[in-house]
Structure 1
Amino acid sequence: MDKNDLIFNSRHIWHPYDSIINPLPCYPIVSAKGVFLTLSNGRKLIDGMSSWWATIHGYNNPRLNQALKNQIKNVSHIMFGGIVHPPAISLCKKLISMTDRKLEHIFLADSGSVAIEIAMKMALQYWKKKDFKKRFFLTIKNGYHGDTFSAMSVSDPENSIHKLYRNYLPIHFFADSPKSKFGGEWIKNDINSFEILIKKNFKKIAAVILEPIVQGAGGMRFYHPTYLKKVRLFCTYYKIPLILDEIATGFGRTGKLFAYEYADVSPDILCLGKAITGGTLTLSAVLTTKKISKKISNNYPGCLMHGPTFMANPLACAVATENLNILQENKWKKQVFNINKILYKYLLPIKNHPMVDDIRILGAIAVIDCKKEINIEKIQQFFVKNGVWIRPFKKLIYIMPAYIIDKKSLKKLISVMIKSLNYYFFFI
C-alpha cells in the first residue's frame, strides 16, 4: 500500500462516522496476527479494540483459518430458503447448548443491527393477531443497538450518533438509565422510572429491549445486576417479551459467557453477533423461545417475515462453530480473569488523575471516562506513534483486547492510555 493508495482512500472511500470531505487520517494495515496489527511500513501496533469487540482469540487464529479452508472446499455460500447445510446445523446445536435452555429456536442473520431488527419484528409479529396496539418498545437511556432504522429507534434519542434522524424514527419509551453501578450498592429507586413507564403503557408495549449489564457505544456504562432482575420481573408480570442485546457482551467479554448470567435471568429473545465468528466474518443470531416462535407461526402470515440473502452463510457458520468449540474448552475464563486482574492493578490507581472522571472495569473491558471530550485525530496519532491501536470516542478512552493478549502487551496498552492523559491538547 503506497502513498497513492492512501490518497485514493481519503478521496473516495467512506469510513465509519467520518466525513468524505475532511476525513480523519487512516492508518494502512497490511496484516495482523495474534494481538498485533502490521502497518505498511512494517511497524506493529498492539490492538486494544479486538476490531470492535469481535476478534476474541486474536488475528489469524490457525483453528479458525483451518475451519474456513475446510468449508470453502465444499461451499462458501448457498441460499437458506428451502436448503439446510451441516455448518448451520452444527452452529445452531452449539448455540442452543450454550445459551439458556428456554431458547430453542434460532434465526441466523448477517450483522448485529439486523439481529435487532429481526428481534423487534419477532416481538411485533408475536402480538399481531391478538393486540394491534402493541407496537412500541420500552428501553433505557444511554443504550445503543445499531445503526439501522429500527435499531436506532430504540437507541438513546439524544445520542449524537442518532439524533440527526430523530424526527424520522418511531418514538418509543425510554426509562432513565440505571445509576446503581456494577459492584456498587443497589439504589432502591433506580427502577422507578422503568416501573412507571411499564405500568402506564404495558398495553402498548410489544417488548422491552436493553443491553444486559454493559451499555456499549451509548457510554460504556456498567450497571447493577439487580436492575436487570427487576426488569425481568416486570416483563414476566405484564407478559411482555424481554429482548436482550448481547451482541457486544456475548461470548465471555464481561467475565461470564453471557452478561445476563450476572443477574441469573433469561431473555425471551436473545441477540448475538460480533464475537460469534471470532472476528473473521460477519454473522449474527437471534434466539427465542418455543412460545414466541409458535405464536408467530400461528399468526398471519404464518412465518417470520425476514430473509437475508446471506442468512446462515456456510463459511460464517463453519468458523463460528469452531470459535464456539474454542470457547467451550474454557481457557477464556482464565484469560479474561487475568486481563481483569491486570486492569485493576495498573489502571484503577489513576482514578484521581485530574483528567479522569471515572474508571470502569468489568471482565476484559476497561474504560477511562475523561472530564473533557477527546480530539480523536491528535490522540490517535499519539497512540500509533507509541505502538498501540486504541480508538476513543467522545470522552471515553477504552479497550477490550483479545483474550489471548500477553501481560507485557496489555501493560503497554494501559501505560500508553495513562500517558495520553497528561497532554492537555488531546482534549477539547
Structure 2
Amino acid sequence: MNNKQSQISVDLEFDKKHIWHPYTSMTAPLPVYPVVSANKNIITLESGENLIDGMASWWSAIHGYNHPVLNEALTNQISQMSHIMFGGITHAPAVNLCKKLIEITPEQLTKVFLADSGSVAVEVAIKMALQYWQSQNIKNKTKLMTVTKGYHGDTFAAMSICDPINSMHALYQDFLPQHIFAPAPISSFDAEFDANELNILENYFIAHHENVAAFIIEPIVQNAGGMNFYHPDYLAGLSELCDKYNVLLICDEIATGFGRTGKMFAVEHAKITPDIMCIGKAITGGYMTLSATLTSDKIAKGISEGAAGVMMHGPTFMGNPLACSVACASIDLLLASNWQNTVQDLNAWLTQFLAPCNDLEQVENVRILGAIGVVEIDKVVDVAQFQKKCIEQGVWIRPYGKLIYLMPPYITPKNDIKKLADVIYSILDI
C-alpha cells in the first residue's frame, strides 16, 4: 500500500460498529470492501485489487467512472454555484436539462418535475395522479393498481406498490396503504404473447377502475422484483386498458431508461406514451443523485387548475445545479455516441459468454435483454461468500435473492464481459 492510500485508510471497525449499509444488519453486517478509486470500468480496492465492475454502481454509471467530460461539467459548474434553492429561482443547468429530457422522451411528455432520487420521483408521480383526479372533482379515485413482482423504491408510497409478499418491503405491509395487485406479466420478451394475459388484466380494470387513479409499472423489465423481461404487447395492451377505463398510466423508467434495454426508454418497445414517467439512476451517469418525473400538458393543466392550484411538492435540492450540469453532459455524451450499437454488442457478448451457465445443474434460467444479463439459480445466493469469491477473481458483482445479474457500464470491453461471465460460471460450477 502506498503512502497516499495509507493516509486515507478506511476505519473498517468504525464502519462496522456505526454505519448502516443498504439492506444489512447492524449486528451481523455483510462484509464491505474499502474502495480508493474507480476509473472507466475498474474499481480499485484499498487492499490493491482491481475489479471489473459488473454493476455500474446499481445501473447508474453508464459511461464508467472518472469520465473527463463529466468531471469537466462538474468542475465548471462548481466554480459558479453548487446549489441554489429552486423556489422562485431558475438557472441554465436546470432549463437545459429539462429541454433535453423533453426532446428525448415521448412527445406528449412536456412538463418536468426535478427531484432527488428515484423513490422521490415515484412519490411525485403518485401525488400527481392523485392530485389530478382531486382537481377534476373526482374524489373516489384514491387507489393505485400495479402488478406483482414490481419494485419502485424504498420510501413509503413507493413501498406500497412493490410486490406485497415477496419484496424486501413485506415487513411494512401492515403500515402501508393498501393497493390493488394484478398478476405479473408472464409472456417473456422474445416469446409469443399470450393475449389471455390482457383478458385477465381487464377483469381487474372492470372491478376496480372507478377507484383507481393510476396504474404504475416498470416497462418491459421488472428489475429488483425479479428481473422479469416481459412482452411489449402486454405493455401496449395495458396502455389501451388505461385509456379505455379512464386510469392514468405511470411508467417507472428509473432502471430501464437511457438505453439499458436497447431503446432510449423501454416504453419505446411497445410504442406507447404514459401519462407520467419517472427517470433516474443513469440520468447523471452515476455522478450525483437526481431524478425527474415527466407528464403531459393534460395532467399538468388539470393539477394547476384545481383547488390547490399548485403541485404540492418541493424538495430542498430540487434542480440542484451540479446534478443538472452533469446530467446535461451525460445525456450529450450518450447521444453523441453510437450507443445503440454499443448496447447491441453488450447484448451479444452477454448472450455468448453467459450461455454456458445454462448447462449447470443449479441454474434455472439465463436471460438477456439489452445490456442486462441474468443468471437465475435454484436457491438464494450467499452474498458474502459469492462476493468474496468474485473479488478473489478480480470482478465486482452483487447478486440478490436467486439472481446473479450483470448491468455493466456501456464502455465495458468484450474481454471484461467474458471475465465477468466466466467468474459467474466458475463460482456456480461446483
For 1:392 and 1:348, the matched residues in 2 are separated by: 18
Q: Is the 8 A contact 1:33 1:58 kept in 2?
A: yes
Partner deviation per Cα, 1:333-356 (whole Å, 9 max, x = no partner): 121111111111121243232111
2:97 equivalent in structure 1: 91
Match of 1:375 among 378, 382, 399: 382
- In 2, Cα distance between equivalents of 1:265 and 1:393: 31
Output the TM-score relative to the length of structure 2: 0.97
Aligned to 1:189: 196
2:408 counterpart of 1:401: yes
Q: What is residue 145 of structure 1 aligned with on the other side?
A: 152
Quick check: 1:178–1:191 contact (8 Å CA) kept in 2?
Answer: no
| Residue 336 of structure 2: aligned partner | 329
Q: Residue by residue, what CA displacement relative to the aligned partner does 1:132-190 show, whole Å, maximum 9, x if unpaired?
A: 11010110000000000000001100134100000001111101001100101111212
Residue type of the partner of 1:31? S
Q: Distance in 2 between matches of 1:13 and 1:221?
A: 33
2:296 is matched by which residue type in structure 1? Answer: T
User: Partners in 2 of 1:196 and 1:231 — Cα distance?
Assistant: 12
Residues 1-400 of structure 1: pairs in structure 2 closer than 5 A: 5-129=11-135, 130-400=137-407
- CA–CA distance in 1 between the matches of 2:114 and 2:244? 30
Identity over aligned residues, as a percent? 52
- CA deviations over 1:235-266 (Å, ceiling 9, x no partner): 11112110000000000001110001000111
Question: CA-to-partner distance for each residue in 1:189-243, whole Å, 9 max, x for gaps?
Answer: 1223321111111110000100000000000110000000100000111121100
Is contact 1:140-1:176 (8 Å) kept? yes
Contact 1:103–1:290 (Cα < 8 Å) also in 2: yes
Paired with 2:334 and 2:40, the residues of 1 have a C-alpha distance of 16
Residues in 1 aligned to 2:10 and 2:288: alpha-carbon distance in whole angstroms: 28
State the match for 2:427 in structure 1.
420
SS of the residue 1:113 aligns to: helix
Tell me the amino acid that sits aligned with residue 345 of structure 2.
Answer: N
1:209 maps to amino acid: I
Distance, in Å, in 2 between the alignment partners of 1:99 and 1:193 is 30
Residue 417 of structure 2 aligns to a residue whose secondary structure is helix
Q: Offset at 1:131?
A: 1.0
* SS state at 2:216 partner: strand
Q: Deviations over 1:35-61 (max 9, x none)?
A: 000000221000000000100000001
Question: Distance in 2 between the 1:332 and 1:276 partners?
Answer: 15
Distance of 1:142 and 1:408 partners within structure 2: 33
Letter in 1 for 2:181: F
Answer whether contact 1:125 1:296 (CA < 8 A) is retained.
yes
CA 1:4/1:155 → structure 2, altered by over 3 Å: closer, same or farther? closer
Matched, 1:410 2:408: no
The count of corresponding residues between Structure 1 and Structure 2 is 423
| Letter matched to residue 32 of structure 1 | A
Q: Whole-Å Cα distance in 2 between the matches of residues 168 and 336 of structure 1?
A: 41
Report the residue type matching 1:119 in the other structure. A
State the distance in 2 between where 1:10 and 1:362 align. Answer: 37
Preserved CA contact (<8 Å) 2:111 2:294: yes
Residue pair 2:100, 2:328 contacting (<8 A) in 1 also: yes
Name which of structure 1's ranges 33-42 and 189-198 shifts more when overlaid on structure 2. 189-198
**Residue 27 of structure 2 aligns to a residue in which SS?**
coil
Amino acid at match of 1:22: A
> What SS does the corresponding residue of 2:359 show, helix, strand or coil?
coil
Residue 4 of structure 1 and its aligned partner are, at CA, apart by: 6.9
Amino acid at match of 2:334: L
Which one-letter code corresponds to 1:291 in the other structure?
K
Distance 1:190 1:207 in 2: 19
Once the two structures are TM-superposed, the CA of residue 322 in structure 1 deviates from its matched residue by 0.5
Paired with 1:214 and 1:66, the residues of 2 have a C-alpha distance of 33
> Where has structure 1 moved over 4 Å in runs of 4 or more?
1-4
Contact 1:157–1:166 at 8 Å: present in 2 too? yes
CA distance in 1, matches of 2:94, 2:150: 31
Query: TM-score, structure 1 length as denominator?
Result: 0.97
Aligned to 1:37, the other structure's residue is in SS state strand
- The separation in 1 between residues aligned to 2:346 and 2:10, in whole angstroms, is 40
Distance (Å, rounded) in 2 between the aligned partners of 1:18 and 1:350: 29
| 8 A contact 1:113–1:147 mirrored in 2 | yes
Amino acid at match of 2:80: N
What code does the residue aligned with 1:413 have?
L
The CA RMSD measured in Å over matched residues stands at 1.0
